[in-house]
Amino acid sequence: QYPLMFGLILAFCWCSLVCCSRIYMGMHSILDVIAGFLYAILILVVFHPVVDLIDNFNLTYKYAPLIIISLHLALGIFSFTLDTWSTSRGDTAQILGCGAGVACGSHVNYIMGLKLDPPPDTLPLSLSSLTVTVFGKAILRLLIGVIVLLLTKVAMKKATIPLACKIFRIPHEDVRKARQRMEVEFPYRYITYGMVGFSLMFIVPCLFHFIGLS
C-alpha cells in the first residue's frame, strides 16, 4: 500500500534513532550496536520466509500459548549469567513478557472469533472522514486504553514482587535491592509486562466492544 522507498526511509530513520540512543545513553558500545544490527538482519533472513507459518501456528494450534510462554521463559532464564546487576536482564524479560502476552492475547482472540483479519478483497481499507465524533472516540479510546494498561502494570507489580520474594525467601524490606536479584526481577518483569501485552490485545478491545467504542 506504500511506496517501497518510503518504507525504506522510515525503517532507516527508526533504526538509526534506536541505535544512536543506545550509544548516547551509554547502554551499548558502537560494536554492540553493529553486532545487534547484523544479528537482526540474520534473524530477518531466517524467519521472514516462515513468518506466516509461525503466525498461523500461534493462532490456531491448541497448545500454542503453553509453547509460547515456555519458550519465552527459557530464552530469558538461560540467556543470562551476569557477574553484576545490569538493566539488560530486566529489559530482556520485559520484551519477552510483552511478546508472550501479545501472542497469547492474539491466540485467544482468534479462538473466540473476536478479531479476525478482513478479507483480502476489502483491502486496502479506506479511512473515514475525520469528524468531531470520530476524533472524540479516538481520544477516549486512547485515554481508557492507557489507564487500563497502567492499572494492569501497577497491580501486577504490587503482586509479583512480594510473591517472588516470599517464594525465594528474599528480604523485601529494600524493594530496589530485591528487584536486582534474578529470582525477583525476571518473574516480576515477565509476568507484569506479559499481562500488559495480553491486556493490550484482548482485555482492552473487549472493553471497547462492551462500552461501544469498537
Indicate the burial class of 36 (C-beta count within 10 angstroms; 0-12, 13-18, 19 or more). middle
Task: Look over the chain and give the mean of its residue pLDDT values, rounded to a whole number.
Answer: 88
- Structural domain boundaries in the chain: 1-48, 51-211
Higher local confidence (pLDDT), 31 or 28: 31
If DSSP states are collapsed to H, E and C, what string results for the chain?
Answer: CCCHHHHHHHHHHHHHHHHHHHHHCCCCCHHHHHHHHHHHHHHHHHHHHHHHHHHHHHHHCCCHHHHHHHHHHHHHHHCCCCCCCCHHHHHHHHHHHHHHHHHHHHHHHHHCCCCCCCCHHHCCCCCCCCCHHHHHHHHHHHHHHHHHHHHHHHHHHHHHHHHHHHHCCCCCCCHHHHHCCHHHHHHHHHHHHHHHHHHHHHHHHHHHHHHCCC
Mean pLDDT of 81-110: 85
Mean pLDDT of 36-64: 91
Residue showing cell 481520544: 139
Q: How many CB atoms lie within 10 A of CB 62?
A: 8
pLDDT value of residue 214: 79
Asked whether 97 and 197 are in contact (CB, 8 A), the reply is yes
Mean pLDDT of 27-38: 90
Task: Provide the pLDDT confidence category of residue 64 given band limits of 50, 70 and 90.
Answer: very high
pLDDT value of residue 116: 63
pLDDT at 69 over 90: yes
Task: Provide the pLDDT confidence category of residue 195 given band limits of 50, 70 and 90.
Answer: very high
pLDDT value of residue 20: 92
pLDDT value of residue 12: 92
Amino acid at 113: G
Interval 116-171: pLDDT, tens: 667 777 777 777 788 898 899 999 999 999 999 999 999 999 999 999 888 988 88
pLDDT at 207 over 90: yes
pLDDT at 30 over 80: yes
pLDDT value of residue 127: 76
Task: Provide the pLDDT confidence category of residue 94 given band limits of 50, 70 and 90.
Answer: very high
Higher local confidence (pLDDT), 176 or 30: 30
Interval 14-28: pLDDT, tens: 999 999 998 998 878
Using a pLDDT cut of 90, give the percent of the chain over it: 50
